[in-house]
Structure 1
Amino acid sequence: MNKRTVLIAGGATAVVGLGLAGYFTTNHYFPSTNDAYVHAYTITVSPYVEGYIKTIHAEPNAFVKKGQLLYEIVPLPFQLSVAQQKHQMEAAIAQKAALEDQLLKARQAVNDQKASQWIINLNQQRYAYLLRQQVVALEKEQEFQASKLEARAKVKSAELEISRLQKQIREQEANIKALSAAVGNAKVNLNYTRYYAPMDAYVSNNFSIRAGQYVKPGEAMFKLVDNTNWWVDANYMESQIHRIRDGMPAKVSLDMYPGVTFHGRVINISQGSGAYYSLLPPQNATGNWVKVPQRFPVRIRLAQTSSHPLRAGATAHATVNTLP
């Protein structure tokens, strides 16, 4: 073996060694995985009230702004309900006012009867004195005694009428409160006939409602994909996550955008492996157990870009920078 061959072999060995060192260093400080997928929050849109769809203002896969009207249920039955509840409440208020007017008159009647009773008592005392002086006949004093009893009965009757009216007014006040709540509920249901986007979002592809369709509360109609909160769940092997911490920077590339790099940060690391949270977690209490390395989801928050819109479910490649 000549000197030139030795130099070539040595150089090749050095290059391979440097390459291996670089690979292991990169894999140590910049752990990466291809087992990663894009996620976003989704909500299922369901009506709060039942009725027929009047108009639809959204389309499958369309972008909608927060506060944008998406659909409207025929509002007429709910408008009639509001009007009916208002009418009943107004009638109850008018009835309460009439009862209060009767109560005022009943109190005045009590005052009048008490005044008459006072005059009768005064006259009875005077005639009792005259009777003792034998100036007037006994029959006259007996007439005043009967008038006194009659006046007392009228006062008692008027006081009972006041109690009855006060009870009716209290009942009417409770009825007005209940009707006021019914009016509020009817207005809420009327407002629920119009559904507005709760956030900037994309309408899902499974958009199945049509104008004229009858819908019920809780019935799933379509989904909205939240466009304000995107992340990647990168499934790292358990031997890779010992250096990863919350807040570390990360780079993410997507198969749908070759050559484009998305930047993000680690926001959390799952406390359990993907298999642990599965419907049927593995049971390894057998004699022929084989060790299988587990993967733990690392969540990386991504910033949305208008030039490269993210899509839920897209495959990704994630690399975390663990250097201090």
Structure 2
Amino acid sequence: MNARTSPNEPAVALPAAAAPAPAPAHAAPAAKPARRLRKALLMLSVPALLVAGGAVWWLTGAAQESTENAYLHQARISVAPTVGGRVVAVNVHELQPVKAGDLLFQVDPQPYELAVAQAEVAVNAARLQVEQLKAALAQAEAQAALAEDDAGYQSDELARQEALSGKGVTSTSALDQTRHASRQAREKAEVARLTAEAARAALGGDAKIATDDHPAVRAALVELDRARYNLSVTRVTAPADGLIYQASSFHEGVMLAAGQAVFALVETGDAWVEANFKETQLGDLAQGQPAKVVFDAAPGKTFTGKVEAIGAGTGAEFSLLPAQNATGNWVKVTQRVPVRIKLDDAEGAAALASGLSAEVTVDTSAAADTRLAAKE
């Protein structure tokens, strides 16, 4: 292209711009197959990535079931006295850790000490009564023997009088008196025998029974053991290691009834997780499968455990007011079933507060392998 010039200026010829070198004839046709190849590779990579992602999901996610609807639970024991009375000593306070066997509080023992003393007196009285029964039996048996001898004598005397009366030696009145005396002697002997049997029955039918084996003494001994037990449980001790909870208003002087719960003991040695899985996730869940638990309150720390049990019903089934699905306005809602996870480090988890949220992942690969083998 030439530069523009003014009419008064002489035209100056400029060198023409270098024309682009013609491209080789074979370049344009070669670019099209390269673009086609890249397009084909791109189109094939998308399905390949989908297949690879599916394989990764099958190898990892498909053999796992997870839920964030899970909570930590710890055994909670309601502490209550076995016997009623006034509290005279309190040795615990709110959130105090205790060991099994530690004294928590004590009910006034004096009424129960008196009951023990009264029961001991009753035992001694029962033993004395048994000894009296043995003496009465001996006396009754002796009287029965005497009455039996007298009855035999009177029977022999009657036989002699009847023989004499047959010979006309004795009078009729004397014979009648002898008959009357013989009849009375037999009746007295019978009364004495019955008295001895009654005395023997009072001893349980065994005249040589040990005093403490007699039912009356044994009953008194049972009452004594009961009184001693009631005295021993006036001292309320911790049934397990744990943490005292809800005891802020408990103090000395409170009147308690037997069985009245006063505070709770959260047992630190027993902790588990209750994971509420959807009903569509239960197909591969089984007892004994390994699980991993992460608590929201302890991020970055993973607890291990195993599936201990799968619930017998959904939460709605065992609620106070179960849903009535036959009313005509039924809407299908995916139900959840509680699955109990037993933690390997229960004591470590017990350091957390009961009721904390958790995320549970259960490895169901064993169940998946079993299912595949069954299909094959």
Give the drift of 1:41.
2.5
Aligned twin of 1:89: 123
Give the drift of 1:313.
0.5
Give the drift of 1:126.
4.5
Please give the alpha-carbon distance, in whole angstroms, between the structure 2 residues aligned to 1:57 and 1:100.
52
Please give the alpha-carbon distance, in whole angstroms, between the structure 2 residues aligned to 1:118 and 1:259.
105
Alignment partner of 1:148 is 2:182: yes
Please give the alpha-carbon distance, in whole angstroms, between the structure 2 residues aligned to 1:212 and 1:296.
46
Alignment partner of 1:48 is 2:90: no
Give the drift of 1:22.
4.9
Please give the alpha-carbon distance, in whole angstroms, between the structure 2 residues aligned to 1:275 and 1:139.
102
Q: 1:29 aligns with which of 60, 63, 69?
A: 63
Aligned twin of 1:111: 145
* Post-superposition CA distance 1:8-41 (Å, at most 9, x none): 9x99999899778756864332332222110122
Aligned twin of 1:61: 95
231-240 vs 177-186, which moves further: 177-186
Kindly indicate whether structure 1 or structure 2 has the higher relative contact order, using CA contacts under 8 Å at least 6 residues apart: 1
* Counterparts in 2 of 1:249 and 1:138: CA distance versus 1, 3 Å: closer
Please give the alpha-carbon distance, in whole angstroms, between the structure 2 residues aligned to 1:293 and 1:146.
101
Q: Percent identity?
A: 33
Aligned twin of 1:296: 337
* Counterparts in 2 of 1:115 and 1:276: CA distance versus 1, 3 Å: closer
Give the drift of 1:287.
7.8
Alignment partner of 1:272 is 2:272: no
Give the drift of 1:252.
0.8
137-146 vs 253-262, which moves further: 137-146
CA contact (8 A) 2:109 2:231 kept: yes
* Counterparts in 2 of 1:121 and 1:261: CA distance versus 1, 3 Å: same
Q: 2:111 aligns with which of 54, 77, 82?
A: 77
Larger Rg: 2
Give the drift of 1:267.
1.7
Q: 1:323 aligns with which of 337, 344, 365?
A: 365
Give the drift of 1:114.
2.4
The code of the aligned residue for 1:316 comes to A
Please give the alpha-carbon distance, in whole angstroms, between the structure 1 residues aligned to 2:346 and 2:338.
24
SS at match of 1:242: coil
CA contact (8 A) 1:234 1:297 kept: yes
Question: Any gaps of 5 or more consecutive residues in structure 2?
Answer: 1-34, 206-213, 367-376
SS at match of 1:264: strand
SS at match of 1:89: helix
Please give the alpha-carbon distance, in whole angstroms, between the structure 1 residues aligned to 2:124 and 2:335.
69
The code of the aligned residue for 1:261 comes to T
Give the drift of 1:266.
1.2
Please give the alpha-carbon distance, in whole angstroms, between the structure 1 residues aligned to 2:288 and 2:250.
42
CA contact (8 A) 1:43 1:225 kept: yes
Question: Any gaps of 5 or more consecutive residues in structure 1?
Answer: none
CA contact (8 A) 2:303 2:344 kept: yes
Give the drift of 1:315.
1.2
Q: How does 1:137-286 map to 2 (within 5 A)?
A: 144-145=178-179, 147-166=181-200, 169=203, 175-206=216-247, 208-282=249-323
* Counterparts in 2 of 1:130 and 1:207: CA distance versus 1, 3 Å: same
* Counterparts in 2 of 1:298 and 1:262: CA distance versus 1, 3 Å: same
* Counterparts in 2 of 1:156 and 1:261: CA distance versus 1, 3 Å: same
SS at match of 1:187: helix
SS at match of 1:243: coil
269-278 vs 73-82, which moves further: 269-278
Please give the alpha-carbon distance, in whole angstroms, between the structure 2 residues aligned to 1:120 and 1:282.
93
Please give the alpha-carbon distance, in whole angstroms, between the structure 1 residues aligned to 2:144 and 2:318.
79
Give the drift of 1:174.
5.3
What is the aligned-residue RMSD (CA, Å)?
Answer: 4.0
Give the drift of 1:264.
0.4
SS at match of 1:268: strand
Please give the alpha-carbon distance, in whole angstroms, between the structure 1 residues aligned to 2:187 and 2:324.
90
Give the drift of 1:265.
0.7
SS at match of 2:365: coil
280-289 vs 242-251, which moves further: 280-289
CA contact (8 A) 1:230 1:303 kept: no
186-195 vs 175-184, which moves further: 175-184
* Counterparts in 2 of 1:262 and 1:139: CA distance versus 1, 3 Å: same
CA contact (8 A) 1:247 1:267 kept: yes
State the TM-score, normalizing by the size of structure 1.
0.79
CA contact (8 A) 2:154 2:182 kept: yes
